[in-house]
Structure 1
Amino acid sequence: MEQLDPSDRKILICLQEDGRLTNNELSERINLSPSQCSRRRTRLEEEGYIRGYRAEIDREKLGLGIVNIISVTLATHNRDNARRFSELISNLPQVMEAHALTGEMDYFIKVVTPDLRSLSAFVNDVLLPHESVQNVKTAIVLDTLKEDGRLPI
């Protein structure tokens, strides 16, 4: 992997802001020729700096008004149990993020649900009965102060 120069960083910053920029629009913003810009963008994609492009969807308009932070403690701490939990989480569309942690809890997951009944069903019918899970603690987000997937480049 090559080092990123200032032009590469500008490309990444611009695409984080608007992934739909055409090559010509992007080249104008960073003051490179369209051909240079295109080569750099392709290289950044091939090297994995740019993993993909997606639309930012308003979850509330889709009826997913409740954000929940759930901490999970596994029943046992071995590789198979962690794999089973990972497989469970990866197949649940309402799980927006999942992080393995150090400390008291094993995992932190961010889940969106339309209502409290759905949250209850998720915890009681999906998480708690799973063989890998010992304990679950939930917290409902009252207000989101910042939600931004952009990286500080």
Structure 2
Amino acid sequence: MLLGYRAQLDPGALGLNFSAMVFATLREGDRKAVEAFEAALIDIPQIVDAQRLFGEPDYLLHVIAQDLPAFQRLYDESLSALPNVQRLTSTLVMKRVVQDRPLPL
């Protein structure tokens, strides 16, 4: 099933030179809490991928920003204010090794 087409842009050429993986653990895992958290993710364009996980942490968020200060502002002003967040941890992406690989059909 074809889901669509899109252009692949070079983040570095657009000044988006900072990439981080942010792990989010929620205080509560009930349906309302999960729905509120996921709905809030839609409003943060710097989150380019978000995955709900089994176990802990609850979510893996791929975030891009211009640089470390821009990421810090995003973290302090938006990510830490997401509904029902108990804990956020992050790690910086050193290098993308595999990306946008075709499905193994």
Q: Normalization by structure 2: what TM-score? A: 0.93
Structure 2 contact 40–83 (Cα < 8 Å) conserved: no
State whether residues 128 and 134 of structure 1, in contact with CA within 8 Å, keep that contact through their aligned partners in structure 2: no
Bigger radius of gyration among the two:
1
Q: Alpha-carbon deviation of 1:145?
A: 1.3
Q: How does 1:42-57 map to 2 (within 5 A)?
A: 49-57=1-9
Counterpart pick for 2:70 among 118, 134, 138? 118
Cross-structure match for 2:94: 142
Structure 1 segments of 4+ aligned residues over 4 angstroms from their partners: none
Q: Which residue of 2 aligns with 1:12?
A: none
What do the CA deviations read for 1:34-60 (whole angstroms, capped 9, x no partner)?
xxxxxxxxxxxxxxx111111111111
**More helix, by proportion:** 1
Aligned to 2:38: 86
- The count of corresponding residues between Structure 1 and Structure 2 is 105
Give me the TM-score of the superposition, normalised by structure 1: 0.65
Quick one: which of 46, 53, 58 aligns to 2:10? 58
Cα RMSD, aligned residues only: 1.1
Where is the strand percentage greater, Structure 1 or Structure 2?
2
Which of residues 56, 62, 76 is equivalent to 1:104?
56
Kept in 2: contact 1:89–1:95 (CA 8 A): yes
**How many angstroms apart in 2 are the aligned matches of 1:144 and 1:116?**
18
